[in-house]
């Protein structure tokens, strides 16, 4: 074998090596975590700064990589053709092309891309310097290529391709949490912010049966008993029937007026309430939280009554209820802490039927598809829907990896259930 032939073989090996490098670079820069690169770049890491630039100018990067990859692949094919012609003559040209295509496909494309995909961040740092140099050297050619591609791509580019879905944003947040860029608390807050715009009012309301209300026609002593013992700052006022809410009373304003008047005569309490109460705001239970928040803020009303499609009162919602969906429960000295969920064993919980389905899914890390309900927003309502009837104590069912047993139920509602989360479905606890 002559020195020339040896150099031919070395040339092919070098070309395949460069082909593998370009192929690995393409997949590494396209899948590298930009937030990690930015974080490392801000700490003064030079390869990370180069890699960040490359990722942010990926059209130029892709043109550079493809130009380099095609050049070495063409060179490898040409050298292999020369070798085969020297060995068997021109009749071996097809064989040379076939052989080098298979070799490049395995060792120059598929294998390096699989490896680089698994170590995309590390390989992006490794390849950043040579790729950045090539981008500078080939910049005149790249500008022409990108301009030509831009002319053609503009004809079929869709406007909505630039938009990112909520699911994509949620995935990105999970990635940057896993990579340590943000902690779990910040990740949870960002996830809640994404979900906030899709939450309906009915998912956060205080149900009608749990509302404290004032009957304007009630005896004076009873009205004063409610006012002096309520932990709430505002109460709905109704006349004749709870469906006929006539106003919202600010308790503080009424107490101030009573103090100013002095004495123990509250016989005209109903007139004072009528004078002080605000006009009620009614909103549909299907309304989304951002719209509700803006409406309450704009009208400077901290509470609204929620109605169903038939106009019946289903509950009430406050500014605090809405804010708590983002920052968690806000407790003060007058609030009664409600434990909707209690862990009693490994992956076994006692859950209140009043707990919202959304909080239930988040707390127990349950697939939201398993708890989807078109008509109910609480665990109790969801289970009644699943059973197809009002279940009795002791009734049970399995939904996906969720096993549920009814602990307490009456003629109207499910009040407490036992829940076990497991990978293996079991018939009983």
Q: What is the reported pLDDT for 427?
A: 43
- How many domains are there within the chain? 3
Rounded Cα gap, residues 270 and 327, in angstroms: 38
Which residues on neighbouring strands pair with residue 303, listed in sequence order?
Answer: 318
> For residue 282, is pLDDT > 90?
yes
Answer whether residue 18 is part of any domain: yes
28's tokens: 């590494």
Q: Which residue in the block uniquely carries the two structure tokens 């009693």?
A: 344
Is 220 within a domain?
Answer: yes
pLDDT in tens, 66-119: 888 888 888 888 888 888 777 777 766 777 778 888 888 888 888 988 898 888
Residue 162 lies inside a defined structural domain of this protein: no
| Domain stop point among 280, 299, 327 | 327
22: which 2 tokens?
Answer: 């370009």
Residue 52 counted as domain residue: yes
Which of 308, 305, 301, 328 lies closest to 316, judged by CA? 305
Can you give the CATH number for the domain in which 415 is found?
A: 3.30.465.10
Rounded to whole angstroms, what are the CA distances from 27 to 74, 215, 306? Answer: 21, 69, 52
Within-domain flag for 188: no
Terminus-to-terminus CA distance in the chain, angstroms? 78
Distance CA 305, CA 287 (A): 12
Q: 279 lies in a domain? A: yes
> Would you say residue 427 lies in a domain?
no
Long-range contacts of 42-49 (CB under 8 A, 24+ apart): 45/125, 47/125, 47/126, 47/128, 47/129, 48/125, 48/128
User: Of 327, 350, 372, at which residue does a domain stop?
Assistant: 327
Let me know whether 323 and 346 are in one domain.
Answer: no
pLDDT digits (tens, 9 = 90+) for 362-375: 788 787 778 877 66
Indicate whether 75 and 117 sit together in one domain.
yes
Residue 49 within any structural domain of the chain: yes
In terms of phi and psi (left: phi > 0; alpha: psi -120 to 50; beta: otherwise), the region of 365 is left
Considering 157, 182, 211, which residue would you say is the last residue of a domain?
157
Verify that 44 and 124 share a domain, yes or no. yes
CATH number at residue 240: 3.10.580.10
pLDDT value at residue 183: 72
Domain range holding 10? 3-157
Tokens of 309: 């499609």
């Amino acid at each position: 074998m002559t020195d020339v032939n040896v150099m031919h073989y070395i040339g092919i090996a070098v070309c395949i090596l460069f082909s593998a490098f370009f192929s690995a670079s393409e997949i590494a820069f396209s899948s590298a975590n930009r937030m990690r690169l930015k974080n490392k770049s801000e700490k003064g890491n030079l390869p990370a700064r180069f890699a960040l630039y490359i990722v942010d100018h990926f059209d130029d990067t892709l043109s550079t990589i493809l130009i380099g990859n095609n050049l070495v692949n063409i060179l490898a094919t040409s050298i292999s053709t020369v070798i085969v012609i020297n060995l068997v003559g021109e009749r071996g040209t097809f064989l040379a092309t076939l052989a080098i295509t298979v070799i490049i496909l395995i060792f120059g494309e598929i294998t390096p891309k699989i490896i680089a995909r698994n170590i995309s961040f590390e390989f992006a740092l490794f390849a950043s310097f040579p790729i950045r140099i090539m981008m500078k050297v080939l910049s005149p050619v790249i500008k022409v290529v990108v301009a030509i591609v831009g002319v053609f791509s503009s004809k079929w580019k869709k406007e909505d391709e630039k938009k990112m879905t909520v699911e994509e944003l949620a995935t990105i947040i999970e990635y940057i949490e896993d990579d340590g860029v943000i902690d779990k608390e910040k990740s949870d807050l960002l996830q809640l912010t994404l979900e906030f715009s899709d939450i309906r009012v009915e998912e956060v309301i205080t149900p009608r049966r749990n509302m404290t209300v004032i009957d304007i026609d009630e005896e004076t002593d009873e009205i004063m008993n409610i006012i002096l013992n309520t932990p709430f700052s505002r109460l709905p006022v109704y006349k004749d029937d709870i469906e006929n809410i006539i106003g919202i009373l600010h308790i503080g304003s009424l107490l101030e007026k009573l103090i100013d008047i002095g004495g123990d005569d509250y016989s005209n309490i109903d007139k004072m309430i009528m004078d002080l109460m605000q006009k009620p705001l009614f909103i549909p239970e299907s309304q989304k939280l951002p719209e509700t928040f803006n409406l309450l803020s704009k009208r400077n009303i901290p509470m609204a009554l929620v109605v169903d499609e038939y106009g019946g009162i289903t509950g009430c919602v406050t500014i605090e209820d809405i804010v708590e969906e983002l920052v968690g429960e806000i407790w003060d000295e007058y609030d009664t802490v409600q434990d909707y969920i209690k862990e009693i064993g490994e992956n076994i919980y006692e859950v209140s039927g009043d707990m919202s389905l959304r909080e239930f899914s988040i707390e127990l890390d349950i697939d939201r598809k398993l708890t989807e309900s078109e008509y109910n927003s609480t665990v109790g309502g969801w289970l009644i829907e699943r059973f197809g009837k009002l279940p009795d104590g002791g009734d049970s069912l399995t939904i996906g990896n969720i096993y549920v047993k009814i602990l307490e139920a009456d003629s109207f509602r499910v009040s407490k259930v036992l829940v076990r989360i497991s990978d293996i479905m079991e018939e009983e606890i």
